[in-house]
């Protein structure tokens, strides 16, 4: 591979966990790789410093069209920053904005996409943003959603959760590897081995297992407790919380679960995320409503 290897996901879906694993696998340290140095091997396509190399204005001063015209040139800069493949974290959907692709295909070597049950994403994202769960459920339904600009970040175009997932995964491709957050937790061996194989690597078992240990949620939380983590938001008490699937069962009401499932049913079904008891919830509610109207 050469060019950009995109590490893509909707926010709070396991991107940071994936990057931690890749740093530990590729650097093969005897101790867990420093989570605050993960920019050594991975870049971020929303980092404003790339755009400021081409236009010194603050991201807030740049229009959507300005950013769209700069983006392919920024991707070229990122690609040229390494002799070989460069890994780039992105939370952008695979769409066009102002007529310009958010992901430059001519510079793309491949992509790894991490998908997570949106019911768990809701809980994790609410914690990350410090916002009520209902507000985050609404945010994840919002089409054409983009984050605000800041001095250090340009807007990210997430769209709604279903559009984001479909944009990256609807069509299989030999240069695309799709993985589930839940498998990273419950089946780490085969899941991370498959990532290494996608990259053309055949690490010895000991090296692979060490990389998984060093990037386990327990190891990541221990590091954050000792040194903090630069990606933690001011409203968070901890970035790395549990790393487990299914926490939504204790955190969401029945009504909240139904709203998420009905809005994102198609993509949830593709990945086995529709929970038991909610398979036909929408149809049943519609039938009840029709009956009440007679």
pLDDT digits over 71-89, tens only? Answer: 999 999 999 998 889 999 9
Percent of the chain scoring above 90 in pLDDT: 73
Task: Flag whether 132 is in a domain.
Answer: no
pLDDT digits over 90-103, tens only? Answer: 999 999 999 999 99
CB of 111 closer than 8 Å to CB of 88:
no
Is the pLDDT at 1 greater than 60? The verdict is: no
pLDDT band for 291, please (50, 70, 90 cuts): very low
Rounded CA-CA distance 233/83 in Å is: 33
Is the pLDDT at 170 greater than 80? The verdict is: yes
Task: Flag whether 250 is in a domain.
Answer: no
> Which residues does 232 contact at the CB level (< 8 Å), separation at least 6?
224, 238, 239
| Count of domains observed in the chain | 1
CB of 137 closer than 8 Å to CB of 73:
no
Task: Flag whether 195 is in a domain.
Answer: yes
The model carries a pTM of 0.89
Strands (DSSP E) contained in 22-155 are 42-44, 86-90, 96-97, 100-101, 108-115
CB of 231 closer than 8 Å to CB of 240:
no
157: domain range?
4-117+145-238
Q: How many CA atoms lie within 13 A of 47 on its CB side?
A: 15
Is the pLDDT at 286 greater than 50? The verdict is: no
| Residue 53 belongs to domain with CATH number | 3.40.50.300
Shortest CA distance to 214 belongs to which of 247, 182, 188, 177? 188
CB of 107 closer than 8 Å to CB of 4:
yes
Cα distances from 286 to residues 131, 273, 277, 278, 292, in angstroms, run: 30, 22, 16, 13, 10
Is the pLDDT at 34 greater than 80? The verdict is: no
pLDDT digits over 218-273, tens only? Answer: 887 777 777 766 555 556 555 555 557 788 999 999 999 999 999 999 999 999 99
Mean pLDDT of 169-185: 95
Task: Flag whether 11 is in a domain.
Answer: yes
């Amino acid at each position: 591979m050469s060019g950009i290897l995109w590490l893509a996901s909707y926010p709070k879906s396991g991107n940071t966990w994936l990057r931690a694993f890749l740093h530990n696998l590729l650097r093969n340290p005897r101790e867990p790789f420093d989570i605050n140095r993960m920019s050594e091997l991975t870049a971020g396509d929303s980092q404003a410093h790339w755009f400021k190399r081409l236009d010194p204005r603050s991201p807030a001063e740049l229009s959507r069209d300005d950013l769209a015209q700069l983006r392919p040139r920024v991707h070229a800069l990122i690609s040229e920053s390494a002799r070989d493949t460069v890994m780039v974290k992105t939370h952008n959907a695979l769409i066009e904005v102002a007529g310009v692709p958010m992901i430059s295909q001519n510079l793309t070597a491949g992509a790894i996409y991490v998908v997570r049950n949106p019911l768990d994403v809701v809980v994790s994202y609410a914690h990350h943003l410090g916002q009520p769960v209902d507000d985050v459920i609404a945010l994840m339904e919002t089409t054409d959603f983009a984050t605000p600009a800041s001095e250090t970040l340009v807007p990210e175009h997430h769209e709604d959760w279903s559009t984001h997932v479909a944009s990256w995964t609807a069509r299989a491709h030999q240069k695309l590897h799709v993985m589930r957050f839940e498998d990273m937790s419950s089946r780490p061996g085969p899941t991370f081995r498959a990532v290494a194989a996608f990259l053309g690597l055949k690490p010895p078992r000991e090296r692979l297992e060490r990389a998984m240990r060093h990037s386990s949620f327990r190891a990541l939380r221990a590091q954050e407790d000792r040194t903090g983590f630069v990606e933690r938001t001011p409203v968070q008490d901890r970035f790395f919380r549990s790393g487990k699937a299914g926490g939504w069962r204790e955190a969401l009401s029945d009504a909240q679960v139904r709203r998420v499932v009905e809005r994102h049913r198609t993509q949830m079904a593709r990945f086995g995320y529709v929970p038991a008891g909610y398979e036909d919830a929408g149809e049943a509610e519609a039938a009840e409503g029709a009956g009440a109207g007679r």
